[in-house]
Amino acid sequence: MNKITIFKNTIPVMMGYIPLGIAFGMYGISSGMPLWVLFLTCILIYAGSVEFMLVALIIGKASIVTVFLISFLLNFRHFFYTLSLLDDIKQLKHRIYFIYALTDETFALLKSRQKKENENIDLLFNLTAMLNHSYWISGVIIGALIGHGLGIRYDGIEFSLVALFAVLSYEMFKNNPNIKVLSISILLSILGLFIFPADYFLFGTLIAAITILLLFRKNFES
């Protein structure tokens, strides 16, 4: 897979990350964060929802322990992403940046791809992650510059990330149409709304899903 093809595959992520990044940049500025802090944040803390939460935690003067626990819970799903891609990651010559830059959308793109013989895994994985990261950084910087000195509300714009991941999930299912996995995912998501507190919904449903899939792995093989 060449660089042009990799770029084309990341265009859907770009269409979601840049508007979301703009929303975050404007949100940060409207909350009183300095431009230089936002610039550092989008480069060093590449974690989507955690970045939005971080602004609120900083404004609320939350403790380091609180920041750590919330960040850990919100990003716990990345452990499963890494495990799912472990065989591929072991083949990477430059894996440190990729592990850092592995997001929901990057994971979805790589898992939904059609595997080919003799593909350059190192180029595919790292360039995909780097391009997606650059879209986020660009969006945040644009939003911060536009929002500097302007009182613009961002409410609702962050939902673009949910819509983006829904599309990527559909693409993944289309390439691997496993009805059993899809059904249990939907069922656990619905049940999780009633079983888990809002702050632990994602964590709880992921643990439940991975437990069921591991215990009954043979039943879910397509």
Measure the CA–CA gap between 68 and 65, rounded to whole angstroms: 5
In this structure, which amino acid lies at residue 152?
A: I
DSSP for 146-196, written as a single string: HHTT-----TTTTHHHHHHHHHHHHHHHHHS--HHHHHHHHHHHHHHHHHS
> What pLDDT, on the 0 to 100 scale, is given for residue 127?
92
The mean pLDDT value for 23-45 works out to 82
> What pLDDT, on the 0 to 100 scale, is given for residue 160?
56
Rounded to 5°, the CA angle 119-120-123 comes to: 140
Please state the length of the chain.
222
Q: Looking at the predicted structure, is the pLDDT value of residue 2 above 70?
A: yes
Domain ranges of the chain: 3-172, 178-222
Q: Looking at the predicted structure, is the pLDDT value of residue 65 above 70?
A: yes
The mean pLDDT value for 53-72 works out to 74
Q: Of 99-113, 120-134, 160-174, 187-201, where does the model show the most confidence? A: 120-134
What's the pLDDT tens digit per position in 135-148? Answer: 999 998 998 888 77
> What pLDDT, on the 0 to 100 scale, is given for residue 165?
62
- Contact yes or no for 26/143 (Cβ under 8 A): yes
pLDDT band at 48 (very low <50, low <70, confident <90, very high): low
The mean pLDDT value for 106-122 works out to 80
Q: Looking at the predicted structure, is the pLDDT value of residue 154 above 60?
A: no
- Contact yes or no for 144/29 (Cβ under 8 A): yes
Q: How far apart are the first and last CA of the chain?
A: 27
Whole-prediction pTM value?
Answer: 0.68
What's the pLDDT tens digit per position in 6-31? Answer: 898 899 889 888 988 888 888 788 77
The mean pLDDT value for 175-183 works out to 76
Residue 172 CA to its chain's centroid (Å): 15
What's the pLDDT tens digit per position in 80-103? Answer: 778 788 888 888 888 889 888 888
> What pLDDT, on the 0 to 100 scale, is given for residue 151?
59
Question: What is the rounded radius of gyration, in angstroms, for the C-alpha atoms of the chain?
Answer: 18
